[in-house]
Amino acid sequence: MSGDTNEVRDANAMFDLSGRVAIVTGGSRGIGRAIAHAYAAAGASVVIASRKADACEAVAKEITDAGGRALAVATHCGELEQLAVLVDTTVAHFGGIDIVVNNAANELAQPLGAITPQAWDKSFSVNLRGPVFLVQYALPHLIASGRGSVVNVVSAAVFTRAEGKGLYAAGKAGLVAFTRTMAGELAEHGIRVNAMAPGAVETDMVRKTGPETMARMRGAAPLNRIAAPEEMTGLALLLASDAGSFMTGQIVSIDGGLTVH
């Protein structure tokens, strides 16, 4: 902090999320699960949202067994009605919404020349439309919070050629654009909107690509490895908490140096 008149803030307090309510989509596995656990450990009440009810319940139980507060709400993030129910259920249970983490993603990949209209709709409904409408549905509660934060999980693919993954990369690139637009439009309400752009992280999505592709991913970044999901949580905490209070409209790469220019 700059200026002699500013008080030095306690480092732990800056990351404290006590009293806040966070929705984490795609929260039942991978990056979303790691973020949900980190937010709960920092004091937040966390809502785990993903398609499979049993997987959501399992993560919520992990958090509550560890002494945290969590609620499982099975949600298909490509279905707008379900996103509206997610918001209503969260508010009914926890009383408000302070943080939205748009982490759910559809990894559908088709190369140019083979893209079908059905794949287009399926990919963009989850990767772009869902996150935008979830923020819209949650907006009255984020405004009421007075300290609202939106964290959009995009991808290093938005900064690369992303051969064969154009649908996925384009949806995430659209979310980058909305991140900046939301940051500008919602700043007057004290709502910060940022995005984190992971590189290769050891998730189900990455493991499905197979050993050869994973080996290429591992060697593509200067750090020469694939990240663990838990390595994404420090940035996710920064963007959601008072530690990032002067950050908005930023797209922060967390990719082992993959996209260094």
> Which tokens sit at 107?
């990894």
In a domain, 212, yes or no: yes
Tens-place pLDDT, residues 188-208:
999 999 999 999 998 877 777
Q: What is the CATH number of the domain that holds 233?
A: 3.40.50.720
> How many angstroms separate the first and last alpha carbons of the chain?
29
Domains contained in the chain, number:
1
22 φ, ψ (degrees, to nearest 5): -125, 130
In a domain, 80, yes or no: yes
One-letter amino acid at 122 equals: K
In a domain, 192, yes or no: yes
Q: How far apart are CA 167 and CA 169, in angstroms?
A: 6
Q: How far apart are CA 58 and CA 66, in angstroms?
A: 13
Tens-place pLDDT, residues 132-176:
999 999 999 999 999 999 999 999 999 999 988 999 999 999 999
pLDDT at 209: 73
Q: For 13-45, give the DSSP string.
A: HHT--TT-EEEEETTTSHHHHHHHHHHHHTT-E
Asked whether 167 and 115 are in contact (CB, 8 A), the reply is yes
pLDDT at 68: 98
The upper half-sphere exposure of residue 221, i.e. CA atoms within 13 Å in the direction of its Cβ, equals 22
Q: Is residue 1 very low, low, confident or very high in pLDDT (cuts 50, 70, 90)?
A: very low
Tens-place pLDDT, residues 41-86:
999 999 999 999 999 999 999 999 999 999 999 999 999 999 999 9
In a domain, 256, yes or no: no
Q: Is residue 210 very low, low, confident or very high in pLDDT (cuts 50, 70, 90)?
A: confident
| Domain coverage including residue 224 | 18-251
Residue 100's nearest CA partner among 20, 156, 178 is 20
One-letter amino acid at 43 equals: G
Report yes or no on whether pTM surpasses 0.85: yes
In a domain, 11, yes or no: no
In a domain, 38, yes or no: yes
> Which tokens sit at 151?
């964290």
Tell me, yes or no, if 39 is annotated catalytic: no
Question: Which one of 123, 168, 169, 200 is the catalytic residue?
Answer: 168
pLDDT at 178: 98
In a domain, 13, yes or no: no
Neighbours of 195 (CB within 10 A): 27
Q: Is residue 6 very low, low, confident or very high in pLDDT (cuts 50, 70, 90)?
A: low
In a domain, 12, yes or no: no
